[in-house]
């Protein structure tokens, strides 16, 4: 399986998982210029920007998944989204780690995975 198809499969799994937890789906693969947010949800009057990381292994070290540079890119994209749609809600950044091996799927949902720095 290519990295692109693995990533799309992981995003689909993460989307279904979060919907099953009561999250309201807004959009996926939202782009602003070269910036992209994997999935955007709303839950409890909060906009949740979700980064999905998929691996063809069941163990994923959360500390290795989202670099400082990637965090800054996601924060900038989120700011663009907030400004474009005039969002006046709380904002949160979550990470969903999806491990796929054979017919086994492991999901690790990290709420408030990181915070924007001032």
What percent of the chain clears pLDDT 90, i.e. is strictly above it?
A: 71
* CATH number for the domain harbouring residue 98: 3.40.1350.10
State yes or no: pLDDT of 2 exceeds 80.
Answer: no
Predicted structure pTM score: 0.92
Q: Would you place residue 63 in the very low, low, confident or very high pLDDT band (cuts 50, 70, 90)?
A: low
Mean pLDDT of 24-45: 95
Which residues fall within 8 angstroms of residue 59, CB to CB, at 6 or more apart?
99
d(CA 16, CA 28): 12
3-state secondary structure of 82: helix
Domain ranges, residue 29: 3-110
Contact 41, 23 (CB under 8 A): yes
Whether the pLDDT of residue 91 is over 80: the answer is yes
117 belongs to a structural domain: no
Per-residue pLDDT, averaged over 9-35, amounts to 96
Asked, for residue 115, whether it belongs to a domain, the answer is: no
Average pLDDT over residues 41-54: 96
Task: Tell me if residue 41 falls in helix, strand or coil.
Answer: strand
The first and second tokens of residue 113, run together, are 């995975």
β-sheet bridge partners, residue 42? 24, 47
Number of domains comprising the chain: 1
Contact 52, 11 (CB under 8 A): yes
Which tops the pLDDT comparison, 58 or 45? Answer: 45
């Amino acid at each position: 399986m290519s990295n692109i198809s693995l990533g799309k499969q992981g995003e689909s799994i993460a989307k279904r998982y979060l919907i099953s937890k009561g999250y309201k789906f807004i959009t996926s693969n939202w782009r602003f210029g070269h910036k992209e947010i994997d999935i955007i949800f709303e839950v409890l009057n909060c906009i949740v920007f979700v980064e999905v990381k998929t691996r063809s292994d069941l163990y994923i070290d959360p500390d290795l998944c989202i670099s400082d540079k990637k965090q800054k890119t996601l924060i900038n994209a989120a700011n663009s989204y907030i400004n474009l749609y005039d969002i006046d809600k709380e904002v949160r950044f979550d990470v969903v780690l999806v491990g796929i091996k054979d017919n086994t799927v492991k999901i690790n949902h990290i709420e408030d995975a990181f915070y924007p720095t001032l």
